[in-house]
Amino acid sequence: MRKIVNLLIVALIPVFSCVNSQTSRMYVGAYTSPDNPNGLHIIDVDLAKGVFTPVSQADAGANPSYLCISQKRSMAYAINESSRVVDGIRVGSVTALKLDIEAGTAEKVKALDVPNGGPCFVSLMPGEDFLLVANYGGGSIAVVRLDASGLPSEVTDTLVFREEGIRSARGHMAAASPDGKKVYLTCLSLDKVMILDLDRTTGKLTQTGHASVKEGLGPRHFTFSKDGTKMFVISELVSAMTVFDIAADGSLTEIQTISTLPDDWTGESFGGDVHLSKDGAYLYGSNRGHNSIVTYKVGANGMLSVVGYTSCGGNWPRNFTIDPSGKYLLVGNQNARPQPDLQNQENVALFEIDKNTGMPVVPGKIYDIKAPACLKFME
């Protein structure tokens, strides 16, 4: 059995080696409710000291469960994970917020309906001329044009994916390759990663191919190697990480699938999120149920080997992020399935990354927040 780094919440002993202040601004998208009406939280984090300072909250619409940030325009874009029926069509929406960096505030400036509702992911195309939206409920990908000021102006295309006997493809993440030449969409129910071209003039998509993961895995989120030649895909339904080679034409060839869980784990768990260390040497994945972050060493050929597991600091680690310096990892514990015997279930947990092993180590601070779903820094 590989060693698990246990979280000793009761101690909360500072373990951070830095003594100087290193404050970064974090944007947290959260599920809304009557007691949590504002879904966007702006928080300053002294990473070295493990101190969280709430700055402000903003109305980002209902359930802004995923965000992307434009530093160039000082804008945040949030998908609203909900479904309404407008003129007989099921829709979700994307909300644009203007960020006042000096004041630490955000103001909702425009919301745009997106057909085939139930959005769960939004990303910016390189060049920041379009948003890509993955619709879980609608099993689709949508393209949203941004005008010269960065406001969403129109939905230029929507592709819906279906296969016989499957009600919805469950689109889960849509993002461009690092060079911007290809667009990829994970379809959880189809066990596929769709490969598409985006016409940057018309905003129309053309599917050029797909790659499959092993049946039943349910691909969820992905990220790319530092040199852009590998894609790492975490699956939800069977907790696993798949590595793909990326060819010059953007096509994908599987080279490895490895579990995100310890060999002796027999409980229920679901893969969540995936991120690469800033130096490209380590890959991290979140396990909802096992409540851990798995750390892999990335080999020269892109193949992964498990380094170990770190307790996530709460319950149901939906999303996590690495700060701009690359020294810290922060986990949003959503607590979607409360556990009666677990304390501090719903929070953001801060970890320092051990520079020798690449593993997140015991956090020096837990920040309580309702239903955190997405953590972002302005890079």
pLDDT in tens, 239-275: 999 999 999 999 999 999 999 999 999 999 999 999 9
CA dist., res. 157 & res. 114, Å (int): 10
Residue ranges making up the domain that contains 339: 4-377
Cα-flanking dihedrals φ and ψ of residue 200, to 5°? -75, -5
Number of domains making up the chain: 1
Q: Taking the chain, what is the end-to-end CA distance rounded to the nearest angstrom? A: 37
Instruction: Give the Å distances, CA to CA, from 171 to 140, 161, 168, 333.
Output: 5, 8, 8, 22
Task: Give the CATH number for residue 256.
Answer: 2.130.10.10
The per-residue pLDDT string of the chain (379 residues; one tens digit each, 9 = 90 and over) reads: 444 444 433 333 333 434 456 799 999 999 999 988 999 999 999 999 999 999 999 999 999 999 999 999 999 999 999 878 888 878 999 999 999 999 999 999 999 999 998 999 999 999 999 999 999 999 999 999 999 999 999 999 999 998 878 878 999 999 999 999 999 999 999 999 999 999 999 999 999 999 999 999 999 999 999 999 999 999 999 999 999 999 999 999 999 999 999 999 999 999 999 999 999 999 999 999 999 999 999 999 999 999 999 999 999 999 999 999 999 999 999 999 998 888 789 999 999 999 999 999 976 689 999 999 999 998 7
Looking at residue 89, what is its pLDDT?
79
Q: Are the C-beta atoms of 309 and 293 separated by less than 8 Å? A: yes
Looking at residue 342, what is its pLDDT?
83
Looking at residue 21, what is its pLDDT?
62
Strand partners, 73: none
Looking at residue 343, what is its pLDDT?
78
pLDDT in tens, 125-147: 999 999 999 999 999 999 999 99
Pairing of strands 292-298, 282-288: antiparallel
Strand partners, 205: 198
Amino acid at 90: R
Looking at residue 2, what is its pLDDT?
45
Looking at residue 84, what is its pLDDT?
85
Long-range contacts of 305-310 (CB under 8 A, 24+ apart): 306/2, 306/258, 307/282, 307/357, 307/358, 307/359, 308/2, 308/3, 308/4, 308/5, 308/357, 308/359, 309/2, 309/3, 309/4, 309/5, 309/262, 310/4, 310/5, 310/7, 310/351, 310/359, 310/360, 310/361
Place of tokens 């940030």: 69
pTM, two decimals, is: 0.93
Looking at residue 168, what is its pLDDT?
86
CA dist., res. 158 & res. 248, Å (int): 26
CB-CB neighbours of 358 under 10 Å: 19
If we measure between CA atoms, which residue out of 69, 86, 91 comes closest to residue 78?
Answer: 69
CA dist., res. 5 & res. 311, Å (int): 6
> For the chain, what's the residue count?
379
Looking at residue 20, what is its pLDDT?
52
